[in-house]
């Protein structure tokens, strides 16, 4: 039996607190625009069904593994992996998995905070009625004026970083837990209000059909790969956030039940977002676009031409800010925990230092949209020829660091950790469900994550073309 240890940072007051925190980490900007859009473009209900299967096969097993490692180590991801490698008598190099997770979270927050700053800016733009009666060109002009001026972007980026560090600096119970107990219910209420509004539009049924009507002809192998990738990325796996949150989980909380609940809540948010967004888009005769364009350029047109648009537009962007905020605090928490543990810093000082470094690195993203927009650091490599610094950071973290982090978590939990250790920590009994988890995380999940990695990096399509030519 492993030595019983407690986190110096404290722990969640209950299983519910962890569920809210982990769901807050998982729910981000991608849930609001990406999932509904990719679902609609890849078979609607058919895609949702495939996605749910992928959540069960990829998302939940890795989440259980990451939470398990966190709770067993009761430290920051770096120190957790160092401790567990020693206890399991495996190579000390596994500590680098902890370092990779902390670095990924830091890099993601550095550019995520800039995008979140857009949402903050749009709260006030929507609430003031700025979008009222505007054409597509007018909305595009507002967006361009925001991103083209580094001073504006810098101001909103700064505000979001400060908001995040204030929460993190207050600690687990007084900061993280209080924040998620307020923000997550508020997020759900805002979503339901927006769904209620969408329900009163003539296009509500069209929006439901877009999301839920199964069209198995519209989903192909590429759609399945997209579902696999999103099932992995949506739960914030592979970057240390879930591991460090797991280190604050009470011993009596079921890791399996908690992971399933978080996955269900994350998917529910994504589906509710689709039910709120697309009826509004269709009711205004607009086409659903992918990515930030849907949020910052398409929807403002809709809000500008509907009754109560200023109010509901403001609510929508407040929702976005809440989603980004709960994700932001989880992204930097592993780094702050490590600073407290290894350098004897106070929580406030550690959060301040982490915030300053993250803010400074975020300048690379701020300038990528304006004064450095034409700077392509890897222009000599064809595949990266048009990538700005922001594009490269996004590619590095999302397509390489997170899949590799998730893969290594699965490999350590299933192949390096003793069976007795995982059996003890998961506390599921040595029966069917433990056996199923172990088979999934040992064999199925690693293969699936490798496929996600190959698809995300474009290697899969090249391999497919190669073998198609041969055979």
Structure confidence at residue 421 (pLDDT): 96
Q: Tell whether the model's pLDDT for residue 3 goes beyond 60.
A: no
Separation CA 19–CA 193 (nearest Å)? 23
Question: How do residues 70-88 score in pLDDT, each as one tens digit?
Answer: 999 999 999 999 999 999 9
DSSP H or E stretch at residue 129: none
Separation CA 32–CA 294 (nearest Å)? 10
Structure confidence at residue 219 (pLDDT): 87
Residue 214, beta-bridge partner list: 44
**Best mean pLDDT range from 73-82, 274-283, 458-467:** 73-82
Residue 187 tokens, joined: 């997020």
Separation CA 56–CA 75 (nearest Å)? 27
Residue 229 tokens, joined: 């990738």
User: Is pLDDT larger for residue 471 or for residue 90?
Assistant: 90
Pick the range with the lowest mean pLDDT from 167-176, 222-231, 335-344, 407-416.
222-231
Structure confidence at residue 39 (pLDDT): 85
Task: Quote the mean pLDDT of the chain.
Answer: 92
pLDDT bin (cut points 50, 70, 90) of residue 289 is: low
Nearest to 354 by CA among 229, 468, 244, 196: 244
C-beta of residue 237 within 8 angstroms of C-beta of residue 409: yes
pLDDT bin (cut points 50, 70, 90) of residue 6 is: confident
Separation CA 351–CA 165 (nearest Å)? 6
Q: Which residues contact 59 (CB under 8 A, 6 or more apart)?
A: 231, 232, 234, 235, 237, 263
Pick the range with the lowest mean pLDDT from 49-53, 182-186, 241-245, 360-364.
49-53
Q: Tell whether the model's pLDDT for residue 290 goes beyond 60.
A: no
Report residue 44: phi and psi, to 5°. 55, -115
Percent of the chain with pLDDT over 70: 98
Neighbours of 316 (CB within 10 A): 30
Q: In degrees, to the nearest 5, what angle opens at C-alpha 67 toward C-alphas 321 and 18?
A: 50
Neighbours of 221 (CB within 10 A): 10
Residue 174 tokens, joined: 């007084």
Structure confidence at residue 51 (pLDDT): 92
pLDDT bin (cut points 50, 70, 90) of residue 471 is: low
Structure confidence at residue 5 (pLDDT): 83
**Looking at residues 131-135, what average pLDDT do you find?**
91
Positive or negative torsion for Cα 24, 186, 17, 338: positive
C-beta of residue 133 within 8 angstroms of C-beta of residue 384: no
Domain ranges in the chain are: 15-470
Residue 301 tokens, joined: 């047109």
Residue 20 tokens, joined: 């809210």
C-beta of residue 139 within 8 angstroms of C-beta of residue 300: yes
pLDDT bin (cut points 50, 70, 90) of residue 261 is: very high
User: Is pLDDT larger for residue 234 or for residue 357?
Assistant: 357
Residue 435 tokens, joined: 């056996």
Neighbours of 141 (CB within 10 A): 12
Percent of the chain with pLDDT over 90: 75
C-beta of residue 71 within 8 angstroms of C-beta of residue 333: no
In angstroms and rounded to an integer, the radius of gyration of the C-alpha atoms of the chain is 22
Residue 165 tokens, joined: 């560090």
Question: How do residues 185-200 score in pLDDT, each as one tens digit?
Answer: 999 999 999 999 999 8
Q: Note the helical H segments in 344-444.
A: 347-368, 389-395, 402-411, 419-426, 432-439
Architecture (CATH level 2) of domain 15-470: Orthogonal Bundle (1.10)
Residue 25 tokens, joined: 């980490």
Structure confidence at residue 460 (pLDDT): 86
pTM recorded for the entire structure:
0.93
Nearest to 455 by CA among 238, 112, 218, 221: 221
Structure confidence at residue 29 (pLDDT): 83
Structure confidence at residue 218 (pLDDT): 82
Nearest to 28 by CA among 192, 193, 211, 270: 270
Q: How far is CA 346 from CA 340, 343, 360, 414, in A?
A: 6, 9, 21, 36
pLDDT bin (cut points 50, 70, 90) of residue 214 is: confident
**Looking at residues 250-257, what average pLDDT do you find?**
95
Separation CA 308–CA 43 (nearest Å)? 32
pLDDT bin (cut points 50, 70, 90) of residue 291 is: low
pLDDT bin (cut points 50, 70, 90) of residue 294 is: confident
């Amino acid at each position: 039996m492993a030595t019983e240890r407690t986190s110096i940072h404290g722990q969640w007051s209950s299983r519910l607190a962890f569920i809210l925190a982990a769901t807050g980490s998982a729910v981000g900007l991608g849930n609001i625009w990406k999932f509904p859009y990719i679902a609609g473009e890849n078979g609607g209900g058919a895609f949702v069904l495939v996605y749910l299967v992928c959540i069960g096969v990829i998302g939940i097993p890795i989440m259980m593994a990451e939470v398990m490692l966190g709770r067993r180590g009761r430290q920051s991801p770096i120190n957790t992996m160092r401790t567990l490698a020693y206890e399991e008598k495996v190579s000390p190099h596994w500590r680098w998995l902890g370092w990779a997770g902390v670095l990924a979270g830091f890099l993601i927050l550095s550019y995520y905070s800039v995008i979140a700053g857009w949402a903050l800016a749009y709260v006030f733009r929507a609430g003031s009625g700025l979008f009222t009666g505007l054409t597509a060109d007018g909305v595009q002009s507002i967006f361009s004026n925001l991103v083209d001026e580094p001073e504006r972007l810098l101001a909103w980026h700064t505000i979001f970083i400060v908001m995040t560090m204030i929460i993190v600096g207050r600690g687990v119970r007084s900061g993280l837990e209080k924040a998620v107990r307020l923000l997550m219910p508020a997020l759900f209420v805002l979503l339901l209000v927006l769904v209620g509004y969408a329900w009163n539009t003539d296009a509500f049924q069209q929006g439901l059909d877009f999301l839920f009507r199964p069209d198995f002809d519209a989903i192909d192998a590429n759609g399945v790969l997209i579902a696999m990738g999103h099932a992995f990325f949506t739960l914030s796996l592979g970057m240390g956030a879930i591991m460090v949150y797991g280190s604050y989980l009470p011993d009596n909380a079921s890791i399996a039940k908690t992971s399933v609940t978080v996955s269900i809540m994350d998917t529910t948010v994504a589906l509710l977002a689709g039910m709120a967004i697309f009826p509004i888009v269709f009711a205004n005769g607009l086409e659903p676009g992918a990515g930030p364009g849907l949020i910052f350029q398409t929807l403002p047109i809709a809000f500008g031409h509907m009754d109560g648009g200023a109010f509901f537009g403001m609510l929508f962007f407040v929702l976005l800010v809440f989603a980004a905020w709960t994700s932001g605090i989880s992204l930097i928490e592993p780094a702050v925990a490590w600073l407290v543990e290894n350098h004897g810093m106070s929580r406030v000082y550690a959060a301040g230092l982490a915030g300053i470094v993250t803010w400074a690195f975020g300048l690379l993203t701020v300038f990528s949209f304006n004064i450095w927009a034409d700077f392509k650091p890897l222009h000599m490599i064809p595949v990266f020829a048009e990538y700005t610094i922001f594009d490269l950071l996004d590619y590095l973290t999302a397509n390489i660091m997170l899949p590799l982090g998730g893969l290594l978590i699965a490999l350590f939990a299933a192949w390096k950790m003793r069976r007795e250790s995982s059996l003890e920590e998961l506390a599921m009994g040595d029966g069917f469900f433990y056996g199923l988890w172990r088979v999934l995380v040992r064999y199925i999940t690693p293969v699936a994550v490798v496929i996600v990695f190959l698809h995300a990096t474009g290697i899969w399509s090249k391999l497919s073309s190669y073998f198609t030519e041969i055979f």
